[in-house]
Amino acid sequence: MFKTFQTYKLLFIRLILIVAAIELSIYFFKDGLVFTGVFVLFIVFLMIREMFFYVRNFVLIYNKTISSILQNDFSSDFSKHKFNTNYSDLFLLYDTLKSKQNEQISKDIIYRSILNNIETGIIILQKQDNDWNIFLMNDYFSTHFNVPKVSKWKYLKNQLPSLCEIIEQDNFQEIKTSIEISLNEQNNQTFVLQASRTEIFEQDYFIVLLDSIQNVVEKKEKEAWVNLMKVISHELLNSITPIRSICQNLQDLVEQDSLSDEDLEDVKNSVTTMLRRSDHLQKFVEGYRKLAMLPSPKKEKIELQHLIDNCLQVMNPLFKEKNIEVSNNITFKRFINIDSQQVEQVLINLLTNSFHALKDSLQKQILISAEAKENRIFIKITDTGNGIEKEIENKIFLPFFTTRPEGAGIGLTLSKNIIEAHGGYISHKSEDGKTTFEISFIED
């Protein structure tokens, strides 16, 4: 604003000088000083000429700069005028807009490069008046469907009528369906069609995604294999960790000069536990490798207390290492008809969860209890950990949901599937600073 005022001030001074020179020339003519008057008029002419070119150059540069901005043409070079302070604000505006346009062009190139490298057909339509024009078509769409990069909807309709008819039937609204498209006059191929509509800065856009059903199936298969590997690795670690702890205890025992009868009994029990868990792991891995699904339960009668003792024998080394107090309050004798290996894995999963829940707890206690009522057996595992946050209570049984960085998020899901396959159910509750998981079976 100040520089504009300075420009007007200079023009005003020039006008004052011209008027004063004209008055002086008239004065000389009246006094008979003709040659002096003519000389002053010549000076006036030069001043008028200089002011004319000054105003003309100012207007020309101003018009050229504004025209370049309006037409998004930033190819002009005003470097020779940059030392003229009269245009500094104008050139600053020009350079700022030029920088922003270059930045936007760079972003557009990057975005288009990304879209062109995605193996999904993408077209973006833009509504202009009552017609739709093609705002963007990526390379995959153009090459895969053998369609030139046209700019009009009617041209695309001539190339892919089946696609365009579905979009028009839904009046360019959100779509999610499958569609068959003939490619290169061959048999029809099935594609997944997803389309959505959005408005950006009062401009209406319609985004269309086309993905081969084969690609979708392959992605799902890869996800399934990844999930399967998570399940297997989770179960391996759940058994290998306590086995390693048992091996460490055995190593400490065998390094002694002599073994007492009690130590020898510990060695026998440890070896038995490792063999039993190893057999389970072998069967587990073989079952998932062959079926890629949870094997059907092979039920047999087993005494409840014996089942709990087997699980505690596996987990006790870990509990002793972390000074966790475990209380088994099951006193009655009951037989249940279950797949002992599968249910044992469920109990080990729950005890492992309690083990991790007690990590930062001052009072480290786990209570195992059971009761029989209404022809059912209820097994409860309670710990004094931090409990389950209300925000995630409804998510803990979801596949691959976990709050532990090292967790796979399938322990509780797998446990739930095993118990339900036995005709039972598993539930949980948190109250009074304690978390309880309850398993229910039909009593044999």
Q: Is the pLDDT of residue 422 over 50?
A: yes
Segment of 157-161, 211-215, 407-411 carrying the highest mean pLDDT? 157-161
Output the pLDDT for position 2: 39
Report the CATH number of the 119-213 domain. Answer: 3.30.450.20
Q: Answer whether residue 180 shows pLDDT above 80.
A: no
Higher pLDDT, 415 or 85: 415
Compute the average pLDDT of residues 215-229: 59
pLDDT, residue 378, reads: 92
How is residue 245 written in tokens?
Answer: 């702890």
* Of residues 231, 244, 179, the one with CA closest to residue 417: 231
Check whether 1 has a pLDDT greater than 50. Answer: no
Q: How confident is the model at residue 287 (pLDDT cuts 50, 70, 90)?
A: very low
Q: Which of 93-97, 267-271, 307-311 has the highest mean pLDDT?
A: 307-311
- Which of these ranges, 197-201, 218-222, 437-441, has the smallest mean pLDDT? 218-222
pLDDT of residue 407: 60
Q: Which tops the pLDDT comparison, 261 or 38?
A: 38
What are the boundaries of each domain within the chain? 2-105, 119-213, 297-444
CA angle, residues 338, 396, 336, in degrees to nearest 5: 10
Cα–Cα nearest to 380, from 330, 317, 344: 330
Please state whether beta strands 300-303 and 131-137 pair in parallel, antiparallel, or not at all (unpaired): unpaired
More confident residue, 140 or 76: 140
Whether pLDDT at 46 is above 80: yes
Worst-scoring range by mean pLDDT, 30-34, 37-41, 80-84, 94-98? 80-84
Point out the least confidently predicted range of 89-98, 161-170, 311-320.
89-98
- pLDDT range class, residue 291, cuts 50, 70, 90: very low
Give the pair of three-digit tokens for residue 278: 């190893």
pLDDT at 381 > cutoff 90: yes
Return the minimum-mean-pLDDT range out of 250-254, 297-301, 360-364, 378-382.
Answer: 250-254
Q: Is a pLDDT exceeding 90 seen at residue 178?
A: no
Question: Residue 420 has what pLDDT?
Answer: 85
| Cα–Cα distance, 262 to 265 (Å, whole number) | 5
The superfamily CATH assigns to domain 297-444 is Histidine kinase-like ATPase, C-terminal domain (3.30.565.10)
- Better-scored residue on pLDDT, 219 or 117: 117
Q: Is pTM beyond 0.75 here?
A: no
> Is residue 280 very low, low, confident or very high in pLDDT (cuts 50, 70, 90)?
low
User: What pLDDT is stored for residue 436 in this prediction?
Assistant: 92
Quick check: 26 and 41 in contact, CB under 8 A?
Answer: no
What's residue 380's pLDDT?
94
The reported pLDDT for the residue numbered 113 is 85
Q: How far apart are the first and last CA of the chain?
A: 94
Whether 87 has a pLDDT exceeding 70, the answer reads no
Sheet holding 325-328, edge to edge: 325-328, 365-373, 376-383, 434-442, 425-431
Distance CA 207, CA 228 (A): 34
Average pLDDT, the chain: 79
Confidence class for position 226, pLDDT limits 50, 70, 90: low
Tell me, what's the pLDDT at 338?
92
Please tell me the distance from the alpha carbon of residue 125 to that of residue 204, in angstroms, as a whole number: 8
- Looking at residue 193, its pLDDT comes to 86
Segment 2-9 long-range contacts (CB within 8 Å, at least 24 positions apart)? 3/85, 3/86, 3/88, 3/89, 4/89, 6/85, 6/86, 7/58, 7/86
124-149 pLDDT, tens digit per residue, is 999 888 888 898 899 888 888 888 88
- Of 26-35, 68-77, 147-156, 168-177, give the lowest mean pLDDT range: 68-77
